Amino acid sequence: MALKLSKLPKRTPIKLTSTFSPDVHSKLTDYAKNYEQNYGEKERVEDLIPFMV
């Protein structure tokens, strides 16, 4: 899978609350797994979303 995000920069975490359908959550989880495979660093879905938006 080709990633559209580059590696995330260093950042200060913030808390966001969002609701997603099970299908969207599954796709976001898959993307996070691909991110880890490509960059060798595990990132939580919650940390990837702001950079996707």
Q: Is 47 inside any structural domain?
A: yes
Residues in the chain: 53
Residue 16 contacts residue 49 (beta carbons within 8 Å): yes
Q: Is 31 inside any structural domain?
A: yes
Residue 45 contacts residue 8 (beta carbons within 8 Å): no
Range of the domain at 45: 22-52
Q: Is 14 inside any structural domain?
A: no
Q: Residue 31: name the closest of 20, 21, 22, 42 by CA.
A: 42
Per residue in 6-49, pLDDT (tens digit) is 888 887 877 768 899 999 999 999 999 999 999 999 999 988 99
* Model pLDDT, residue 22: 97
Q: Is 38 inside any structural domain?
A: yes
Q: Which amino acid is at 28?
A: L
* Model pLDDT, residue 10: 80
Q: Is 46 inside any structural domain?
A: yes
- DSSP letter at 40 equals S
